[in-house]
């Protein structure tokens, strides 16, 4: 599939924003994050800024952005519409949660309920985003059980790294934040490695014989000639290919930037001998590197996907 920048930005930015929002809600409810104005303002601004920018990018990706609201009416059958409806609805409890935290310095009572609801809706929204892709049966690299948990874990993981940096910046760091970040980094690493192994080794679900229905007649089904003499829109969008050697290099970058380097930097901050300024710089470095890594990971997620329609153009799945 052709890796569109708008969709890559949407899935990475909104995933980190929702991950951070859920963790902010959980840790304010647990008392590990204080209800102070500037911490709440900056944390909510980053979270909602990432979510809003991601949703705007998603809307602009539509062929007719002016039909965005009409698209939301298809929630009964479309995961995209369900994700859009829930994403908009999440702003209501999140806004009330933010008002209590920033302006009233309160995360109890009604604001606690709004925080809990924000966390749940953030997690479900990311799940709905993942199902936009996991529900597409013609693309075997997406239609598998690894995609939804990977989306949720990577979103929460990048959100946790942002939380560690914010906690260092405002002097409210707790070892629990670092432990959570490390646990999510390791879980995400295992999930992503397993996903790549699966798409590399899983047998093709379709062949030219099954796609045309001619396979039941016996023998191999082959193309007599190509359907087109030059590249068309379908081949550009659905038939994008990346060389295996380039994919291997980019996977290595993902291992390094998204997992190994942030894991080392986050672990480094646990040492008591590390000065606070150096620990803050390390946590910021982990955020930057993970951001580059997750963008690369998401580019590969699209570039390595193969659509069944390409069987009619001589491709193998």
Digits of tens for pLDDT over the chain (317 positions)? 677 888 899 999 999 999 999 999 999 999 999 999 999 999 999 999 999 999 888 777 666 666 667 777 888 888 988 998 999 999 999 999 999 999 999 999 999 999 999 999 999 999 999 999 999 988 889 999 999 999 999 999 999 999 999 999 999 999 999 999 999 999 999 999 999 999 999 877 776 666 666 667 776 777 666 666 667 666 666 667 777 788 999 999 999 999 999 999 999 887 766 788 999 999 999 999 999 999 999 999 999 988 877 766 766 66
Residues 6+ apart with CB under 8 A from 113: none
Q: Domain 5-313: give its CATH superfamily.
A: Formate dehydrogenase/DMSO reductase domain (1.20.1630.10)
CA proximity to 116, closest of 134, 138, 142, 90: 90
What DSSP element (H or E) covers 119? helix 110-134
Contact 303, 239 (CB under 8 A): no
Give the Cα separation of 71 and 8 in Å (integer).
20
User: Could you give the angle at which helices 5-30 and 175-201 cross, rounded to 10 degrees?
Assistant: 140
């Amino acid at each position: 599939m052709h890796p569109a920048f708008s969709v890559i930005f949407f899935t990475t930015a909104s995933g980190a924003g929702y991950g951070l929002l859920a963790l902010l809600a959980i840790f304010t409810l647990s008392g590990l994050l204080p209800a102070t104005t500037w911490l709440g303002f900056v944390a909510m601004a980053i979270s909602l800024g990432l979510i809003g920018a991601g949703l705007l990018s998603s809307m602009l990706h539509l062929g007719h952005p002016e039909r965005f609201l009409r698209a939301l009416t298809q929630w009964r059958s479309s995961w995209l519409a369900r994700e859009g409806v829930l994403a908009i609805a999440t702003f209501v409890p999140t806004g009330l949660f933010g008002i209590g935290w920033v302006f009233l310095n309160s995360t109890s009572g009604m604001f606690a309920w709004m925080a809990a609801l924000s966390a749940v809706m953030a997690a479900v929204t990311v799940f709905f985003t993942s199902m936009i892709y996991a529900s597409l049966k013609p693309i075997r690299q997406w239609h598998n059980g690894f995609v939804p948990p990977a989306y949720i874990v990577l979103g929460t993981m990048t959100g946790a790294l942002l939380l560690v940096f914010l906690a260092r910046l405002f002097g409210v760091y707790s070892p629990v934040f670092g432990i959570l970040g490390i646990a999510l980094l390791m879980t995400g690493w295992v999930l992503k490695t397993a996903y790549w192994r699966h798409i590399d080794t899983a047998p093709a679900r379709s062949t030219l014989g099954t796609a045309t229905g001619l396979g039941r007649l016996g023998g191999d089904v082959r193309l007599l000639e190509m359907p087109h003499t030059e590249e068309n829109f379908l081949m550009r969008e659905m038939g994008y290919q990346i060389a295996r050697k380039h994919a291997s290099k980019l996977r290595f970058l993902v291992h390094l930037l998204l997992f190994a380097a942030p894991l080392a930097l986050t672990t480094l901050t646990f040492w008591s001998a590390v000065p606070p300024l150096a620990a803050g710089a390390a946590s910021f470095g982990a955020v930057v590197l993970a951001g580059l890594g997750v963008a690369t990971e998401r580019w590969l997620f699209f570039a390595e996907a193969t659509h069944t329609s390409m069987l009619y153009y001589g491709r193998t799945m």
